[in-house]
Structure 1
Amino acid sequence: MNTGSVPGLGVEFWNQNVEFFAEPGGLALVPALGGRFVFNAHFCDGKAQSGVLMPGKAGDGQYAQAFGTIRERAAALGTTAIVSEFGHPVAGFTSDKTSSVLKAIYQGLDSAAPGARWWSAPRGSVLSGSQWHWDINHGRHHELMNDNPAKVKTDGDAMNDEHFSAVRLDETGTPVLNVDRALVDRVYPRAVAGTTLAFAYEDRVHQSWQQIPLPNVRALVGSSPFAVLVWDSDGGPAPTEVHLPQSLRAPQVISSAAAAVEGDELVLRAPAGRQFALVTAPSSGDAAAAEAELRRWYVSW
């Protein structure tokens, strides 16, 4: 097969954490695929969805190992990875876990380290992902199960009797969220001019898992959401672009790069070399002291 004309060819791997139910995959016996392939993975916390195999809520670093496996397989295959499907029911008897599970999944996409160790541990690359799913017809379907007119599916997502959609239309036809907005309207690196070395976003949903060891940074951030990005800039003309959620469109930014907010985007321009950016809500904390701590920290590892 000539892959030279197929820049977006995906290779799928189903990553399921119920051991006796997990499907094999990951192309463990094939040689490196190269950069014109994408390692396309799914992730589903079957234990949490079972309501039996995982008591309680998801915790800090819950999926570090699962997403570490995805990172490792992509690296072994000589390419990058995308987690093109992940989610958790937004209704039903395990929906009390939804916020914690989604928070932990996004944490696993952002970094290979739990929040308790993020500031000192190997962090891994950022994974792109797509939450399952975004169905504005949630609760408004009219689908025949197996083309059987006696079995009309209307509830939830209809398909597979699922209730995974993060969005629906209200009675006026306006899209509204089925999950906490802060979980899905997030800070994330949209494009990095160089190589991402570390990224974390603490959304403050469910629990706060990030434990900041730098006292002035911790005081500056307070109880607000915040993100930290460290990257090795290539020094080229293209900027690094960071998406800003609605709640942080007028953020406080401390960065080694020149920073400018353009709508829903933080634009960072920097010469070649290691760079950092902290994004949080406006604060009365000591920004100069926090910056001094960050400048010592980001070159220390």
Structure 2
Amino acid sequence: EPNNSLETAAPIPVDQTIEALSLPRRDIDYYRFQLTEDRTVSIVRTDPDQSCTYALRYTLYDIHGNRIGDEDCVLGDKKHTLKRGNYVLALYQERNNLRHFDLNPYHFKIDTGRPHNGEDSRYHSGKPDSKEAADGVRIAQRAYQRYLAKEYDEAVKLYHQAQQLIPQVPAVWNDCGAALYKQGNNKEAENMFKKALRCDGSYALAWRNLGVLYGRRKQYAQAISCHEKLIRLEPTGENLKFAGLTYYYAGKNRALTRSQYWTRAAALFQRSLQEKDDPVAKKHLSEIQNFFKIKKQPSHPPSVVPHSKSLLPRK
């Protein structure tokens, strides 16, 4: 099971219903989530009908595994005031239900009190009562649609308008940077990614994009720094793959230190593949493994060493 420990917690969004299956005998599902601002949250069940009959409990942890509040909390009973950051939620069947076997999935969400409406959450300003902020969100959504349609010039123009209205939202800077990158304007794209991180230093997507940009420039030291920050924030399979690719290309371009870079790349690809089967990670991992196999083999057969004369039979 991929999410049966704090280290392998599955990343999930907040304010969206998650469906999963819990087995008896103390099956524990771990989920990782991120808050981009201080919020009061509650963990609630959202089962659409009465088909799921088992009771659930949860325990909340910070990203380092320290428990927050009580353990064995009943879903919906408590509210937690949390700082911006990353957290882990452990969900499991109530202890006296361990013999209860029900193959129906359970449904829950991490409720921040904010309605989820498509891309609204992507550009949410944190000021729901502000008309200016609402206008900024709408413009950013239009920009995102232009980006998806590959109309990058129009997307950049709209993102710049949104930045005037909701400058505190990291996504409007990051997504503008992505559009600029698609245009080939790497210098301005870099500035946008950095501005996103000034808004929120834990905004993982901006770290990833900035790392990719540095990697394309062959500025591998900067790229590695960005991707190491990325996987500390969100060690998902996809992010681990991106970090592995950075180390891979750094090693490919530095023959003298290739072993060092590729050792790290291999470890990251292996972790990535534990979360999901990815052909890119698998291909590069195979190449690295073959490289180390060849390196261990002697480059030429050993020469025949003659016996010492003192060991030759006397005439």
Same fold, TM-score > 0.5, yes or no = no
Q: Pick the structure with more helix per residue.
A: 2
Which structure features the higher share of strand residues?
1
TM-score range, shorter chain: under 0.3
What TM-score do you get using the length of structure 2 for normalisation? 0.26
TM-score, scaled relative to structure 1: 0.27
Larger radius of gyration: 2
